[in-house]
Amino acid sequence: MTPQHLLRAVVFDWAGTVVDHGSLAPMGVFVEAFQEFGVAISIEEARGPMGMAKRPHIATLMALPRISAAWAKQHGHAPTEADIDAVYDVFVPKNRAVAARFSDVIPGVADVVATLRAHGLKIGSTTGYTRDIMAEILPGAAAHGFAPDCLVCTGDTPDGRPTPFMLWKALTELGVYPPWLSVKVDDTEVGIAEGISAGAWTVGVSVTGNVFGHTTGGNAGNGAGSFPHQARRSLGQAQCRRRTLCRKRGCRSAAGDCGNRGQASARRTALTEQPPSSQSVASGRSVG
């Protein structure tokens, strides 16, 4: 059986997945944007909500207890919607200014895309960037071998990740249905959640993405033995974020082992029980 009888499309994220090895472009900009308002945040904090649209990303950062307290100390009040808008208005032009410098295609991506197309698959993309930021990235990416058949950006749909709307729009533009005939490839938690929510296969990218946050040279300098430690640390951070999210949803179970998680598992099970000709497997596989 040929691949096109099993799958019809692969939809990629951008930063950390196909361009910008280590997902570096937004990190310094988040730090600089907050610094302009007298609030210091770390790169590690900035990475936490990666994959979200940038305004919700800033809102999530401002909701973190440490950052919220630092903001209140500096400005005399807890962060407001107007404050989120103000930081976002500073962030966007800064991000646009550096975007083109981080448009190099990650080694191996162009070859993978060429192979997928040779087997008849369509190539889509979704991103947490706005279209004006993507306008700075697209020419460089195309020159180095990545030019997808469609692009869905923040602002193109009613909501962004982890909802399925951007992926569904991409599949609509590609003419692919049902969604389990597609694969979503992403380096962030919310990007993987986007694929699972949409009913697609999901593949998680690790070493080139937000989890490790290394440049190509940085990865070359790390032996394989260092990756498990980094992966465990990142997994621990992800579990902490999941526990925080669960508590916000009213869950009081320990270690995030709760109904929210169970419901997600039930959805995955339901998807895998589709007939063999239209089966969907939603997995969190990690590839280097």
111 annotated active-site: no
Burial of 44 (0-12, 13-18, 19+ CB in 10 A): exposed
149 annotated active-site: no
Do 134 and 21 meet the contact criterion of CB atoms below 8 Å apart?
no
Choosing from 13, 83, 186, 187, the catalytic residue is 13
Do 264 and 162 meet the contact criterion of CB atoms below 8 Å apart?
no
User: Which of 178, 170, 59, 94 lies closest to 125 in space, CA to CA?
Assistant: 170
State the Cα torsion 106-111-115-121 to the nearest 10°. 30
Do 179 and 198 meet the contact criterion of CB atoms below 8 Å apart?
yes
Q: Can you say whether the dihedral through the CA atoms of 104, 7, 199, 238 is positive or negative?
A: negative
- The pair of structure tokens assigned to 267 is 């959805």
C-alpha–C-alpha distance, residues 284 and 165, integer Å: 20
Q: Cα angle at 268 between 267 and 273, to 5 degrees?
A: 95
Choosing from 20, 54, 83, 184, the catalytic residue is 54
Hunting for tokens 């976002």 — which residue is that?
88
C-alpha–C-alpha distance, residues 63 and 52, integer Å: 15
DSSP state of 93: H
Active-site residue list: 13, 54
